[in-house]
Chain A
Amino acid sequence: MAIGRTPAHAGSSAETSLLRRPDGRSGLAGWMTTVDHKRLGILYMLSAFTFLGLGSIEAFLIRLQLAVPNQQLVSPDVYNQLFTMHGVTMVFLAIMPLGTGFANYFVPLMIGARDLAFPRLNAFGYWIYLFGGVFVYSSVFLGGAPDAGWFAYAPLTSLSNNPGNGIDFYMIGLLIAGIGTLVTAMNLIVTIFSMRAPGMAMMRMPVFVWMILVTSFLIIFAFPPLTIALFQVIMDRTFGTLFYVPAAGGLPILWQHLFWIFGHPEVYIIILPAFGVISEVIPTFSRKPLFGYPVMILSGIFIGFMGFAVWSHHMFTTGLGPVANTAFSLTSFVIGVPTGVKIFNWLGTMWGGSIRFATPMLYAIAFLFMFVMGGITGIMLAMPPFDAQANSTYFVVAHFHYVMGGGALFAFLAGFYYWFPKISGRLLSERMSQAAFWVLFVGFNMIFMPQHFAGLLGMPRRVQTYQAGIGLEIYNLVSTAGTFVMGLALAMVVFSVVRAFLSGQRAPADPWDGRTLEWSVPSPPPHYDFTSQPIVYARDAWWAAKHPELAHDEPSHEYDASLFDRGGIHLPGASWFPFVLAAGIFAGSYGVLYHNWPLAILMGLVVVVSTYGWAFEGVGGHHVHPGESAHAETGSA
């Protein structure tokens, strides 16, 4: 919202005012004020992996409790907090931000841009996500974590049914974290529309970028209903409104509708970037372009669109009636079609290729296997009569872990192994990575395959224990045993990453003979990403630059590279305000939660002042002039 600012003069630094923008890149302050998409991408990934670890600990405790029947390792109250936090952590704080981290780091590089359209907004999006996650987790030390499940059905969340503060931490924490998700989605849309390199037509963009674009639109339309629903519950609990109070005529089913109108698109928000990663990894390691590029994009858009039409398949047992159940069943079947088409296209990419079984490819293949299985159980669950038996049982738990874990997590791990050299400048040991993969694959299936049967034999979900003698023992025991195997795998991954940093080989710019532009810059990329503005002449732009004879399409326009970056590459200035604004919201949230209105109002003022500071601090930044000799890398004319 900068008002009337004059453009920065070539070579000038920050405005001469109190509000001088920091430009340092060193130390803690450098990271707290950074607006560099690569640094923010790394921060997202580090936070996401940390939350993944916390969520895994919760999962481990859950499985320990369920190892044998009638255990009391943890009480029902603690157990309810464990699975609630596990779900909240994995969905909101681990998997989705991991996708955001990859998007942040690689979308600009893939489209030949140097940053997102709004760098400070990008930083704010990260900090408010982190603060939101910390806020939710602080509940553990402040009276107890939320305990009503990750979808927090009303009226379990009413003040009378749930008097502690746990639910308030859930509602407020997710609300503020959601702000971050929303603004980052807006940022990415503008970036993808407006900052593509010359020649990078929409139909030449990598599929990963397309999936991020569709995902961002999904976020724009899906998060607001959640935000409002959260807000309504906060109002109920804080100010005594009656939105979800049955005694006043409130309808608990309204929460379910609003939550799932968000919640179903949410799973596509998670999986579409994962599909995008797979659509980069498989072509690279098959040495062939993606089969059916336009169809992959169209199917992604169709899935995104249909994702808004299926939400009540989470509500088949709530008594919506046969007509509604039929409608949502049919839309849920339909959404399986474009998903199936994608699977075929990935197979078609590998067909006729030269497949290299590097670690990223192993994860991609495992993804194909496990996502298809999860998709099949999804089609089964889309049949309301069967869902009447399977809903809210371990069958559903198995289904969504196959698509979210075996699907999204494995796909993002493929992305992690694929892009680790680029981000870190180090190579991971292939041997150790492949060993960890197999252990992870075995462990994952040990945990979740038996859960299908536990559900079919009558084990509901979210139960602290189960009765002996009805056939559930073996499945729960094997499932728990699998957590040890998976834990070993995760330890192996962490170990190999640490080793890579301490003594790993340096990574070249293009270790995989890649197809997209991020492989045209050094590993890790310099601060300014590209030495000179990339010009794009075909799909799979980097591959086309390396092998012009194999390029997909003909250049449609010639560009004179010297027209770009005259006066040097402008690097955006860093800023304290994204961090301060997020911190103000974070502190103010405690004010709201504890009804400490002076604190809330004071932090509100901090928010207002930070907003003005952000608006008026000026353009800042500086120009760099990297060596002119490096311009040949990107195949510019």
Chain B
Amino acid sequence: MMSDAQLTTAAAERPAHGWRSSPLPDVKLIMWIFLASDVMFFGTLIGTYLIYRGRSLVGPYPLDILDIPLTTLSTFVLLMSSFLMVIALHALRNDNIPMFRLWTIGVALFGSIFLGFQVYEFSHFVEVGLTLQQNLFGSTFFVLTGTHGVHVAVGVLWLVSIVVASYFRPMRAKDATYLEVAGLYWHFVDIVWIVIFTLVYLVEFI
């Protein structure tokens, strides 16, 4: 239970809504819950992929076309983007607005580079005969990684929007929660990619 002094502060800090029975901001809590549901989304897609692994009746098969060196590079880019996200949030918390904008754009840029790699990989696969309709590998691979790619794209759009909006309505350290939840989402998308990279790519080469 909060003391009266804490209550006063809480009431002052929560102008629109007043009292809260949890120290966690609403948007952060709902983002965590959303991410829990997203775990189940990706879990189901990954599960489907794994169940159908090795069951394609015709090729191309994963070993034929997966490019580990290239995908390692794109994975690294995505990982670096998460690092930049941390720096961006740190900058905003220190009220360093130019740096917050720079690093956030950096995250979006790295995310876009990752997407570029994905586009390249997908079109290359199609060229050598792996389409959505070709075999179970094609269906499960493209739907899984495509869904992930859409998540990345939404994240890029979101981060760019935050930066653009910050020119119209100033963003300060006290608004950091709004960047933090975007960061949570971004880190989650990154972690999902690590899982996909392991279970789709690396596992074929053990």
Contact = CB atoms under 8 A, between A and B. Distances in A.
Contact of A193 (B21, B38, B45): B21
A566 interface: yes
Nearest to A194: B22
Contact of A186 (B37, B51, B133): B37
A117 B41 contact: no
B48 A249 contact: no
Contact of B17 (A198, A242, A570): A570
B44 A229 contact: yes
Nearest to B1: A557
Given A4-B178, A239-B133, A224 B18 contact: no
Contacts of B18: 533, 564-565, 570
Contacts of A1: 158, 178
Given A243-B139, A560-B4, A616-B165, A186 B41 contact: no
A5 B1 contact: no
Given A118-B30, A616-B165, A221 B36 contact: yes
B69 interface: no
Interface in B35-82: 36-38, 40-41, 43-45, 48, 51-52, 55-57
Interface residues of A, number: 62
Given A3-B165, A186-B34, A240 B135 contact: no
Contact of A241 (B21, B132, B162, B172): B132
Given A186-B30, A194-B22, A254-B48, A4 B169 contact: yes
Residues of B contacting A: mostly: helix
B16 A619 contact: yes
Contacts of A566: 11
Interface in B130-164: 132-133, 135-136, 138-140, 143, 158, 161-162
Interface string A185-209: 0110110011111111000000000
A220 B143 contact: no
Contacts of B132: 235, 239-241
B123 interface: no
A4 B171 CA distance: 5
A248 B44 contact: no
A254 B170 contact: no
Contact of B30 (A187, A533, A572): A187
B29 to A, nearest CB: 5
Nearest to B178: A3
B11 A228 contact: no
A614 interface: no
A4 B165 contact: yes
Interface in B91-137: 132-133, 135-136
Interface in A41-61: none
A194 B16 contact: no
A102 B170 CA distance: 40
A173 interface: no
B198 interface: no
B149 to A, nearest CB: 15
B16 A241 contact: no
B1 A556 contact: yes
Contacts of B33: 186, 189-190, 220
B38 to A, nearest CB: 8
Interface string A335-378: 00000000000000000000000000000000000000000000
Q: Chain B interface: which size bin?
A: 35 or more
B136 A242 contact: yes
Interface in A1-15: 1-8, 10
A411 interface: no
B155 to A, nearest CB: 12
Contacts of B206: none
Contacts of A621: 16
B83 interface: no
B41 A224 contact: yes
Interface string A226-253: 0111011001000111110000111100
Nearest to B132: A241
Given A4-B171, A556-B1, A619-B16, A194 B21 contact: yes
A375 B119 CA distance: 53
A2 B178 contact: yes
A242 B139 contact: yes
Contacts of B4: 559-560, 563
Contact of A198 (B19, B40, B143, B170): B19
A577 interface: no
B55 to A, nearest CB: 5
A159 B88 CA distance: 48
Given A223-B37, A249-B52, A254-B48, A190 B166 contact: no
B48 A232 contact: yes
Interface string A531-569: 001000000000000000000000011011001111000
Nearest to B28: A190
B11 A563 contact: yes
Contacts of B19: 195, 197-198, 533, 564
A613 interface: no
B203 interface: no
B175 interface: yes
Contacts of A198: 1, 7, 19, 21
B44 A4 contact: no
Contacts of B30: 117-118, 186-187, 189-190
Interface string A139-170: 00000000000000000000000000000000
Which 8 pairs show the lowest CB-CB distances between chains A and B?
A: A224-B40, A7-B15, A241-B139, A228-B44, A196-B21, A4-B171, A3-B165, A240-B133
Interface of B: 1, 4, 7-8, 11, 15-22, 24, 26, 29-30, 33-34, 36-38, 40-41, 43-45, 48, 51-52, 55-57, 132-133, 135-136, 138-140, 143, 158, 161-162, 165-166, 169-172, 175, 178
Given A189-B33, A224-B37, A225-B44, 6 more contacts: A4-B178, A194-B29, A196-B21, A228-B44, A241-B143, A556-B1
25 contacts: A4-B166, A4-B172, A8-B16, A10-B15, A117-B30, A189-B30, A193-B24, A194-B21, A194-B29, A199-B1, A200-B21, A220-B36, A224-B38, A224-B41, A225-B40, A227-B41, A229-B44, A239-B133, A241-B139, A242-B138, A248-B135, A248-B136, A249-B57, A564-B11, A566-B11
